[in-house]
Structures are given as C-alpha cells and as structure tokens.
Amino acid sequence: MQKYEWRKSEKKLYLPKIKPEVVDVEEMQFITISGEGNPNSPAFTGYIEALYATAYAIKMTLKNLKSTPQGYVDYTV
C-alpha cells in the first residue's frame, strides 16, 4: 500500500511561495476542532492531543484491517 505524503503531494497548499498566488483547493475531508482562544492554554493542548489520538486511531484501525475500504490510502498524521 502506498502512503499519501501531503507534504510532497500538496506543496502548493502547505509550502507556499514567498510571492502570494491564487491556488485552487479541491474538496477534502478533515478531522477538526472548533473554538477560539489562546493556543498556549492547557485546554488547547488537550484538544490537539485528542485530535492527534483520533487521527492516529483511525489510521491504525484502517491500516490493520484484513481488507481496507475501497479508496483508502495510508496517510501521515
């Protein structure tokens, strides 16, 4: 199974040039958290830990199935 490496595949989105440019962003699915406040707060740290744990659990569950779902591609958390 090939791994999807977003840093390499989506350079225009994640590694922008110094000069501003317009980019088209295709529809994608993400796991997100909503809120506002200080990113240095303990609450924010907890949210990020939960987000990472959820993404990693999904990744490992799908990766370890005997038959992965159609269209599944391994990804970097």
Position with higher pLDDT, 13 vs 55: 55
Distance CA 19, CA 31 (A): 30
Q: What is the pTM of this model?
A: 0.65
Q: Which alpha helices (H) appear in the chain, and where do they start and end? A: 6-9, 11-14, 42-63
Q: What is the mean pLDDT of residues 57-73?
A: 85
Residue 56: pLDDT band with limits 50, 70, 90:
very high
pLDDT in the model for residue 53: 96
Q: How many CB atoms lie within 10 A of CB 45?
A: 11
Amino acid at 71: G
Give the DSSP H or E segment for 3: strand 3-4
Give the DSSP H or E segment for 67: none
Residue 1: pLDDT band with limits 50, 70, 90:
low
